[in-house]
Amino acid sequence: MNRRLLHIILPLATAVLFLVGWHTAVKMSGSDIFPTPYEVLRGLGELARQGLLLKYIVASLFRVSWGFGLAVIVGVPLGLVLGWFRPAYAALNPFIQILRPISPIAWIPVAILWFGVKDTAPVFLIFLASVFPITVSAMAAVQNMQQVYLRAAQNFGLSGFPLFRRVIFPAALPQVITGIRIALGVAWLVVVAAEMIAVNSGLGYLIIDARNAGKRYDLVVAGMVMIGLIGLVLDLLVRRLEKFDEVRWGYGQR
C-alpha cells in the first residue's frame, strides 16, 4: 500500500474506533444525559439547518483572527526588539514573565469592566492568550541565533536596520513561525473561555448557551467537535507556512 493512502486510512480507522467506543460506552452506562455520536451529529444538523452553525463559526473565527492578528503584530516586533537590545530585555522580561502565566479566564472580569460585552472583550482575551507565546518565541529566536551569521554580516559592513532586515529577521523566522503556530493553537483553545462573556454568538457561546438550554448536551459536544475540527484545519494551514523556502531551511531533516 502506498504511503499517501496509509496517511488517510490510519487516522480514519482511529476515528471509527473512537466513535464506536464512544457509542458503546454511552449505551453501556445507560446515561440519557451524555449524547451518543449520532445524537451529536443530529444536533449539528439542527444547528446547520437553523443557519446557526455558520454564524457561530464565523463569529469565533472573526474573534480569533483579530485577537491573534493583533498579537502577531505586537508580539513579533516586541520579541525581536527584546531579543536584540539587552537593556530592553532586562527592563521588560520580568514583567512579561509575570503576566504570561495568568490564565485568560482570570482576565474575564477585567475584560468586562474595560470593554463591556461587545466583540472587543473576547478579542482582548484571545490577544492576551496568544501575545506572550509569540513574544517569548521571537525573543528566544534572536537570542539563540548563531553568532556566525552575525559576524559574517558585520564583516560585510551591515548594521542598523539593514542588518535587522537581511540577517536577524530571516535567521529568526523559522523559530518565530513555530511560536506563531503554538500561539494559534492557544488562541483557538481559549475561544470557549473568551466567549463565556455575554456575547451572543460563537462556538464557545454555543457550549455555554446549550448548558442553559436544559438537557442539550448534544449541542455542548457538538460545539466541542466543531472547535476540534476547525483547530485541526488551522493547524494544517499554519503548517503550510513551514513549507516555504524562507522558513524550511531552519528545520532539521528527518
Partner 1 sequence: MKFGRTILIVISLWIAVITVLHGALNLRWFDKKAEVGTTKTFGVGFLPVTCHLTCPVTHFINKEMEGRDMFQPMRFSGWPELKEMFIGRSKDMPASFILAPMAIALREQGVKIKIVHLGHRDGSAVVVHKDSGIFQTADLRGKTIAVPGRYANQRLIIFRELKKVGMNFDDVKIVEMPPPDMPAALQSRAVDAITSGEPFMGQAELDGYGRTLWQAKDVWPGFISCVLAVHEDAIRDHRAEIQRLVNGIAASGKWIDQSMAHRMDAAQFVAANYYNQNPRLLSYVLAKPPDRVTYSRLKPLRAEFEEIERLGKEAGILQGTAHFEDYVDDTFAPDPMVVQAPHFEVKK
Interface segment toward partner 1; rule CB under 8 A; list 61-69, 86-94, 125-133, 182-190: 61-69
Closest to 129 measured CA to CA, from 102, 109, 111: 102
Residue from 26, 40, 47, 59 touching partner 1 (CB under 8 A): that is 59
- Non-local (6+) Cβ contacts of 96 within 8 A are 82, 132, 135, 136
Q: Which is nearer to partner 1, 33 or 148 (CB)?
A: 33
Instruction: Tell me how far, at minimum, the Cβ of 214 lies from partner 1, in Å.
Output: 5
> Buried b vs exposed e over 12-41: b needs ≥16 C-beta within 10 Å?
eeeeeeeeeebeeebeeeeeeeebbbebbe
Using CA atoms, how far apart are residues 166 and 97, in angstroms rounded to an integer? 29
Residue from 102, 112, 152, 229 touching partner 1 (CB under 8 A): that is 112
Instruction: Tell me how far, at minimum, the Cβ of 158 lies from partner 1, in Å.
Output: 17
203-212 and 52-84 are packed helices; what angle lies between their axes, rounded to 10 degrees?
Answer: 130
Instruction: Tell me how far, at minimum, the Cβ of 61 lies from partner 1, in Å.
Output: 5
Using CA atoms, how far apart are residues 187 and 54, in angstroms rounded to an integer? 20
Residue from 42, 46, 55, 140 touching partner 1 (CB under 8 A): that is 55
Centroid of chain to Cα 18: 24
Contacts (CB under 8 A) with partner 1, residues 33-52: 33
Contacts (CB under 8 A) with partner 1, residues 121-160: none
How many residues belong to the site for partner 1 (CB under 8 A)?
37
Q: Which is nearer to partner 1, 45 or 116 (CB)?
A: 116
37-49 and 217-241 are packed helices; what angle lies between their axes, rounded to 10 degrees?
Answer: 80
Q: Which is nearer to partner 1, 188 or 217 (CB)?
A: 217
Asked whether position 109 contacts partner 1 by CB under 8 A, the answer is: yes
Instruction: Tell me how far, at minimum, the Cβ of 202 lies from partner 1, in Å.
Output: 8
Interface segment toward partner 1; rule CB under 8 A; list 17-25, 41-49, 97-105, 190-198: 190-198
Using CA atoms, how far apart are residues 202 and 191, in angstroms rounded to an integer? 8
Whether the Cβ atoms of residue 83 and residue 141 lie closer than 8 Å to each other = yes
Binding site for partner 1 (CB under 8 A): 32-33, 54-55, 58-59, 61-62, 65-66, 69, 108-109, 112-113, 116-117, 119, 196-198, 200-201, 208-209, 211-217, 241, 244-247
